[in-house]
Amino acid sequence: MPGFERFGDLERKELQDVMDNGVLMRYGFDGMRNGHWKAKALENELKNVLESDYVQLVSNGTSAVSVALASAGVGAGDEVIMPTFTFVASFEAILLLGAIPILVDIDDTLGLDAKAVEAAITPKTKAVMVVQMCGSMANMKTLSQVCNKHNLLLVEDACQAIGGRYDNKPLGSIGDLGCFSFDFVKTVTCGEGGAVITNNKQYYTNADHFSDHGHDHEGNDRGAETHPFLGYNFRISELHAAVGLAQIKRLPEFLEVQKKNYTILREALSKIPEVTFRTVPEGGQESYAFLNFFLPDLDTARKTINGFKESGVDVCWNYFDNNWHYVRKWNHLKEAKSLFPLSKEIKDALSLLSKKSFDQSDHFIGRNISCLIKMSWTEDEVKKRAKLMVEAVKKVL
């Protein structure tokens, strides 16, 4: 991760094909495109890779989450439970629909804690959104049991975890709907792009229409299509889809490189007694896009990050002080800073959020260091990196 590190002839070929054909929009212009449909081709590839009956491409991962929730009927006043550790897009996608984000603690998987989820359920709860952060997964068996018990939707955000598996299923395919991002820094990139996957035909049909202004896509005359319901523009372009079409065919290659580099780093760090690693639930297999490990306390983690920087070790973070990925510094959310008026229900929920503490999440995020695994590293570079990381950790300890 990211896939742009491996751009090559296949990506250029698919892009040139779109340019030669001249149709950049994924819908319509049937007579001009001469049978070239990059978005459709990518959706078919994703069906196979993600072992899902239906795939709807959209403009990005954020819109994928909004489209997935809307397609299953989540909207104004509904509560959606989400983790404290994710990307700001998670609550943005919920708020876009007028729904209410309810944040709960994570556990040592760095994913949603099922006990915290169950404690947060109210009569307004409509969905649980699990986010498979940093290439691995939450305890999906337990979360599925909670959702089944309370008749809740399980929406799976696997934007950072394509290629990971749980219980012999691809991450993203376990919940009622799954969401993916193909932005510039993902393992498979389109530059910008996303996807919604599901085995529910009605959810798929809703996603197909909703993401294109409500068009029903019946027939071959776009101007004659009807609009069964309101929709918005979350379309992907043929240019973006062309890049993704090349990249998805190379996913096995990408995963092999990630696993090799990940393993070298993990084996080196595992020799330090004070270092432990995130829990991967039984039956789970990471995508190896990130290596996540724990140190004894927050102070040690902070000093280690500084040591990494001094040693020239990049793309490693302690998210405790990060304002993109962890609740602690999401002040714009807690203070409900919006360009447009928010509903009273949302304001009340965010007011409560600003007063809530997440001690369990702090415990795990404070001690965690997350390292991106690059595919551009040579084996010698990875081994050198491993040596520098071990030295920096030992120096702090």
The separation between the first and the last C-alpha atoms of the chain, rounded to the nearest angstrom, is 30
CA separation for the pair 155, 146 (Å, rounded)? 13
**Mean pLDDT, rounded, for 226-254:** 98
**CB within 8 A of 13, min separation 6: which ones?**
246
**Mean pLDDT, rounded, for 280-290:** 98
pLDDT tens digits, residue range 73-99? 999 999 999 999 999 999 999 999 999
Q: What mean pLDDT is reported for the chain?
A: 98
pLDDT tens digits, residue range 25-71? 999 999 899 899 999 999 999 999 999 999 999 999 999 999 999 99
pLDDT at 328: 97
pLDDT bin (cut points 50, 70, 90) of residue 287 is: very high
pLDDT at 59: 98
Domains and CATH numbers, the chain: 3-250 (3.40.640.10), 252-396 (3.90.1150.10)
pLDDT at 84: 98
Amino acid (1-letter code) at residue 60 = N
pLDDT tens digits, residue range 195-233? 999 999 999 999 999 999 999 999 989 999 999 999 999
Cα torsion through 373, 376, 378, 379, rounded to 10? 30
pLDDT bin (cut points 50, 70, 90) of residue 133 is: very high
pLDDT at 127: 99
Structure tokens at 120: 């947060």
pLDDT at 98: 98
What is the 3-state secondary structure of the chain?
A: CCHHHHCCHHHHHHHHHHHHHCCCECCCCHHHHCCCCHHHHHHHHHHHHCCCCEEEEECCHHHHHHHHHHHCCCCCCCEEEEECECCCHHHHHHHHCCCEEEEECECCCCCECHHHHHHHCCCCEEEEEEECHHHCCCCHHHHHHHHHHHCCEEEEECCCCCCCEECCEECCCCCCEEEEECECCCCCCCECCEEEEECCHHHHHHHHHHCECCCCCCCCCHHHCCCCCCCCECCCEHHHHHHHHHHHCCHHHHHHHHHHHHHHHHHHHCCCCCCEECCCCCCEECCCCEEEEECCCHHHHHHHHHHHHHHCCCCEECHHHCCCCEHHHCHHHHCCCCCCCCCHHHHHHHHHHCCCCCHHHHHHHHHEEEEECCCCCCHHHHHHHHHHHHHHHHHHC
CA separation for the pair 48, 136 (Å, rounded)? 21
Instruction: Give the bridge partners for 370, in sequence order.
Output: 292, 317
Burial class (CB in 10 A: 0-12, 13-18, 19+), 141: middle
Q: Does pTM surpass 0.95? A: yes
Give the largest Cα separation in the chain, rounded. Answer: 69
**Strands 125-131 and 79-83, how do they pair?**
parallel
**CB within 8 A of 34, min separation 6: which ones?**
21
How far does Cα 210 stand from its chain's mean position? 21
pLDDT bin (cut points 50, 70, 90) of residue 351 is: very high
pLDDT tens digits, residue range 331-349? 999 999 999 999 999 999 9
**Mean pLDDT, rounded, for 237-257:** 98
Asked whether 87 and 181 are in contact (CB, 8 A), the reply is no
Structure tokens at 321: 């002080």
